[in-house]
Structure 1
Amino acid sequence: MCRWTVTQGAPVAWFSSCPCCRPPSLLLSLTFLILLLLLGPSSPSPLSASSSSLLSPPLDSEKNHDAPGGTPPRFFTSHPPPSSSPAPLHASSARLPRATNVSSSSATVVGRHVRSSYNHLQGDVRRRKLFSYQKFFLRIDKRGTVNGTKSEDDPYSILEIKSVDVGVVAIRGLSSNHYLAINKKGVLYGARDFGPDCRLIERIEENKYNTYASAEWRNKKKHMFVGLNANGKPMKGRKTRRKNTATHFLPIVVQPR
């Protein structure tokens, strides 16, 4: 057994080197330090726990959300400041609407070269000579007879072409004052007064010549055209076709005198 000797006025002296004989307060402090060293990495200290709880509130909210009866977490999202420049347009959003041709939709005749886009000619009077593909000038005399002539100076070959509707014209002899007309049977004649027989559809063909068909009458749903044969005589409308060059005329401008 170890003995403790206490001297009055002197500090406590240790007479034994045995650890079990050391004072109990020192042994407890050493044991506490050893436990702190062993348990330090696995369990956070109270100060670190409190600081981490203050610095990371979203973790506590996640725990509360996982726990039964907890409040849902609040998510904070940062929005970028609005930019002054507009967003770039993509190819799909930059498409331009297609342009619509209003005048072509109002055409009365189907065809690529119909004068459907010549709205500015409506009501305008054009002074022309109609030179046929057969080398004749179309003429209308005072009796209302329609035929062809080779003479370039024939006054009855001077015609006035006036637009009365989209793609529809009226042709009048300047000297005879008769209108070029086609009746129901396809006969070509000169009418003193303007009527339904005088309404002619004007169309530009692929060879740059014009054709003139009756806007009122048809033969078995086919157009009847103004035409001159190889002798300069008028053709019946029932025997005419658009592809037949006998129905093709070239408008020649007449210079005013």
Structure 2
Amino acid sequence: MYTHSTDAGWISRSHRAISPFRLARPSTPEEAIEVFSDQADATFIAGGIDLVRRMRGGDKWNTVIDISSIDGLGAIEDAGDFVRIGALATHWDVETSEVLAARLPDFQTAWMTIGNVRVRMAGTVGGNILAREAGYDGGVILGVLGAELVFASAAGEVSLPADSAGAALPAGGLLKRVDVPVVPNRKLLFDRSLKPMVSVAVSVEGDRHAVGIGCAFPEPLFRTGTGAVEAEELSADLPEPTGNPMGSSAYRRRMVGVIAARAYRALTSGMR
């Protein structure tokens, strides 16, 4: 199961900025969790876009656990009341899934905006969520849909709401899938027109709405309510956004309200 990173072809001999590490290639989630629990300094890797960038920036792990070959973690399945999206499903898998086109078309449309072509082909759903980067939108979209993150752990499966940004992840847990509820008449609109200053997702179900905000804070922020989204009221309820040279905090906070209110009107006026 173990090999040396350079011998495995993971590190070009010209990229010595990446420190040597032991590479594990488990074949099951249980095996991956066992390896992780046995190592004092280990991490999981799949698509590798964010992890390799961090490693080239100086971050170090003694053991890297490659989960990309574990069967079943990339599947997208219709489970009746929800759709199961495997953590190893790529953004391209989401974009081309017939299951999502039929069951969660608004979600699929929103997810198509994530990343460039290279990222969509190699990056995974799980990687986008677990990177916990302020500018990543996977958690924003999933949060307003009431999705659940399902982890495998030594104690069994553990679920975590996607809108619980900042919550501690299960210790030693491996993200297996995301369960996205299929709710009749729920609509979703995602607006990234002002990235990297702000991104906003809005879902509407009957008279209830949920607003997810990305880029403006260290982690996604969520607000729920009934009736219309009022721009000024929403903006006034937000904390101070993090610094961004492209726009002042006041401007970004105001734009969250404007974009969310506009999305709500579009979702409820039959414009889509």
Is the pair's TM-score, using the shorter chain for normalization, greater than 0.5?
no
- Name whichever structure is richer in helix by fraction: 2
TM-score (normalizing by structure 1)? 0.24
TM-score (normalizing by structure 2)? 0.23
Q: Which has the larger radius of gyration?
A: 1
